[in-house]
Amino acid sequence: MPSLRSFLLLAATALLSTSATSATALPHDHHDHEHTVNKRLPGTWYHPEDHPAYKLFRRDAAQTDGVVYAAVGTPEWSAGYPPAKPDPNALPKAWVDAYNAALSAGKIPKIPPSTLNGNPVYPQGFDPNGDVVCSATYKCRNNNDIWDAPDGVWGASFDDGPLDTSVPLYQFLKQNDVHATHFMIGVNILGYPEEFKMAFEDNQDDIAVHTWTHPYMTTKTDLEVVGELGWTMEIIHNSTGGRLPKYWRPPYGDSDNRVSAIAKEVFGLTTVIWNQDTEDWSIGQPGGTTRDKVDASLKQWITGPKSPGLIILEHELTNNTVGAFIQAFPLIQQNGWKFVSIAQLDGGSPYSNSPSSTGAVTPGQVAVLDGSDDSSSSNSSSSSAPAGSSTSSAPASSASSGTSSGSANGNKAAGNNGSQSSSSSSSAHPSSTGGASQGNSASTVLGSGALTCLSAFLAALILS
Ligand SMILES: *[C@@H]1O[C@H](CO)[C@@H](O)[C@H](O)[C@H]1NC(C)=O
Ligand SMILES: *[C@@H]1O[C@H](CO)[C@@H](O)[C@H](O)[C@H]1NC(C)=O
Ligand SMILES: *[C@@H]1O[C@H](CO)[C@@H](O)[C@H](O)[C@H]1NC(C)=O
Ligand SMILES: *[C@@H]1O[C@H](CO)[C@@H](O)[C@H](O)[C@H]1NC(C)=O
Ligand SMILES: [Zn+2]
């Protein structure tokens, strides 16, 4: 029975400030939501015995790497993690070493952090759509990142869990015998361990990284990026029998060549964005969308073209975000979509050192210690260098300039060799529910748009 001590009270206060002028030309046609860390009071942080989490039949136990980890949800388990923003000066040495090795090897492009001014803004001389920066917020597609699914494929992913609102989603997925990728927030794993176990142990779904505290990652320094990714990798690793996640999704879709390179070169993580966005997170918020609009968008995409396949930004955040998906699911099936997780559409395992949630685990470390992995000779048996990272090449020069969301350019998931025409496909899917995206194509359009600034303030208290 879990003790109440050492419990983290996580309180998130979201500010929604909207400087509305016109509805055109946001660099991204949405923001991923900000209300990421729900508060939970000490008296209710664990579930009573009649909670659905306990009723679910547990499947085969997962194999592990042989290490005995503290049981998920116990004080020993949670004790080692930062309660809120990771301190970039107090990172495990192995991560800093791996970062320095990658930096010395020239694999981390020197791009200054952006600053948040509604959207991330770069200093003069750093074009967010250029080859050097290639900001995903501006829809520039780094060739190493995943934006699209292969034709006919529904790449299922849900962001911001685990939360108590996740439970009906997990139950639904399990009942329907389908699997999804859950891009999880580190502090939410700390706060919702039972829900985490449902996703991993009961559903055997894919666990992926959505950072520790859900910031705009391009605003962070290199070592702050390392901390946000590293701690999330660590808690997933230590809570899944030693598995190392292969995928991460930047909050707000905000990554660039620098951030994606740190993710890849230090942690072996592939960056996953999306090609459609329901803006489900904003249902009920001032200026937000409505459940009806979300339902309509989903229906339109589900019944629309199958090329490229869909990776839709969806959240396990509220009754409405989960409900919209559940309502749409029969239509997804009726329309013949192949429903798979992100790892499945990318041709492999969700973990770099294990084929599945239950398969064998090769012991590995959170940071990729081999900073010069250009092929060959790395001690692959002892290194945790993810198998999936073998193709990584210097990301800095591989940017494709931003085109609108139908482009398959750079989509390695679709296996199209980057050569498909992007022009004709740009209207294959409407870009957003709000119609705010059509002006995004090439130019930087920051100044003109309605900038919806979503700021999150996270307070974490340790009660004892
Ligand atoms: C993760 O597990 C390893 C191996 O047991 C342990 O050394 C490490 O301290 C754990 N990390 C945290 C943050 O608890
Ligand atoms: C959402 O709330 C309604 C009303 O309380 C409930 O009937 C429904 O089952 C909920 N949906 C989900 C997915 O939890
Ligand atoms: C890597 O392999 C080389 C050659 O086999 C060996 O000398 C070295 O000790 C290994 N390094 C590690 C970290 O295992
Ligand atoms: C990609 O395209 C290039 C140039 O057309 C071609 O040489 C190469 O074989 C292609 N690679 C794949 C994997 O199709
Ligand atoms: Zn998010």
pLDDT of 12 higher than 50: no
Confidence of residue 28 (pLDDT cuts 50, 70, 90): low
Is residue 1 a part of any domain in this protein? no
CB of 176 within 6 A of ligand 3: the answer is: no
| Number of neighbouring beta carbons within 10 Å of residue 447 | 11
Cα Rg of the chain (Å, integer): 20
If one residue of 165, 173, 176, 319 were mutated to test the ligand 2 pocket, choosing by the most ligand atoms within 8 A of its CB, it would be 319
Average pLDDT over residues 248-274: 98
Cβ–ligand 4 contact at 419 (below 6 Å): yes
The catalytic position among 35, 179, 210, 315 is 315
Is 315 annotated as catalytic? yes
Q: How far is 386 from 414, CA to CA, in rounded Å?
A: 21
Active site residue 65: no
> Model confidence over 187-211: pLDDT tens digits?
999 999 999 999 999 999 999 999 9
Is 2 contained in some domain? no
Average of per-residue pLDDT across 94-98: 97
Spacing, Cα 270 to ligand 4 middle (Å): 22
Q: Enumerate residues 6+ apart whose C-beta is below 8 A from 158.
A: 166, 169, 180, 181, 182, 183, 314, 315, 316, 325
215-241 per-position pLDDT tens digit: 999 999 999 999 999 999 999 999 999
Q: Can you give the pLDDT at residue 420?
A: 29
Strand partners, 315: 159
Q: How many CB atoms lie within 10 A of CB 325?
A: 24
d(CA 62, ligand 1 centre) in Å: 18
φ and ψ at residue 442, rounded to 5 degrees: -105, -40
Length of the chain: 464
Residue in 363, 299, 367 with CA at minimum distance from that of residue 335: 299
More confident residue, 97 or 375: 97
pLDDT at 32 over 80: no
Select the more confidently predicted residue: 449 or 3: 3
Q: Which listed ligand is nearest to 232 at the C-alpha?
A: 1
76 versus 417: the higher-pLDDT residue is: 76
Whole-number Å distance between alpha carbons of 274 and 265: 22
CA 316 – ligand 2 centroid, Å: 13
First to last CA, the chain: 16
| CA 109 from centre of chain | 22
The 3-class secondary structure across 129-193, one letter per residue, is: CCCCCCCHHHCCEECCCECCECCCEEEEEEECCCCCCHHHHHHHHHHCCCCCEEEECHHHHHHCH
**Any idea which of 135-149, 196-210, 250-264, 397-411 has the lowest mean pLDDT?**
397-411
Q: Whose CA is closest to atom 14 on ligand 2?
A: 319
* Of residues 41, 42, 215, 226, the one with CA closest to residue 137: 215
Q: Ligand 4 atom 12: the closest Cα is on which residue?
A: 417
Q: How does the average pLDDT of the chain come out, rounded?
A: 76
Is the CB of 69 within 6 Å of ligand 1?
yes
| Separation between Cα atoms, residue 318 and residue 326, nearest integer Å | 12
For ligand 4, mutation pick of 143, 409, 416, 417 (most atoms within 8 Å of CB): 417
Amino acid at residue number 40: R
Which among 432, 435, 410 is positioned nearest to 422, based on CA atoms? 410
Ion ligand 5 — residues with CB < 5 Å: 32, 159-160, 251
At residue 442, the pLDDT reads 28
Give the model's pLDDT for residue 61. Answer: 76
Could you tell me if residue 120 is inside a domain?
Answer: yes
C-beta 424 within 6 A of ligand 3:
no
Given a cut of 80, whether residue 430 has pLDDT beyond it is no
Q: How far is CA 377 from CA 101, 246, 415, in A?
A: 16, 21, 27
Count of domains in the chain?
1
CATH of the domain at 259: 3.20.20.370
For residue 95, the enclosing domain spans: 7-463
Q: Tell me, yes or no, whether 455 lies in a domain.
A: yes
Separation of alpha carbons 253 and 230, rounded Å: 18
State if pTM tops 0.85. no
Closest listed residue to residue 413, CA positions, set 346, 348, 458: 346
Looking up tokens 């040495």, which residue turns up?
A: 93
CA of 289 from ligand 2 middle (Å) equals 19
Matching residue, tokens 């899917």: 429
Would residue 375 count as lying in a domain?
A: yes
User: Residue with the nearest Cα to atom 7 of ligand 1?
Assistant: 69
For residue range 282-326, list pLDDT tens digits in order: 999 999 999 999 999 999 999 999 999 999 999 999 999 999 999
Convert 22-45 to b/e letters by CB count within 10 Å (16 or more is b). eebbbbbbbbbbbbbbbebeeeeb
Q: Is 417 in the pocket of ligand 4 (CB under 6 A)?
A: yes
CA 49 to chain centre: 31
Query: What is the structure's pLDDT at 53?
Result: 53
Instruction: For residue range 42-53, list pLDDT tens digits in order.
Output: 334 445 445 555
Catalytic member of 148, 159, 160, 222: 159
Q: Is the dihedral of CA 391, 113, 208, 328 positive or negative?
A: negative
- 372-425, pLDDT tens digit by residue? 444 333 333 333 333 333 333 322 223 333 333 323 233 333 322 223 223 222
Q: Residues 224, 184, 155, 346: is their CA dihedral positive or negative?
A: positive
Task: Give the residue-averaged pLDDT of 165-187.
Answer: 98
- Within 190-313, strands assigned E span 206-209, 247-248, 270-271, 276-277, 310-313
Query: With 0-12 CB in 10 A as exposed, 13-18 as middle and 19+ as buried, what is 285?
Result: middle
Q: How confident is the model over 359-382, as a mean pLDDT?
A: 65
Least confident of 172-176, 252-256, 311-315, 401-405: 401-405
Task: With CA atoms as reference, report the closest residue to 309 among 275, 346, 284.
Answer: 275
Tokens of 59: 């499947």
Contacts of 376 (CB under 8 A, 6+ apart): none
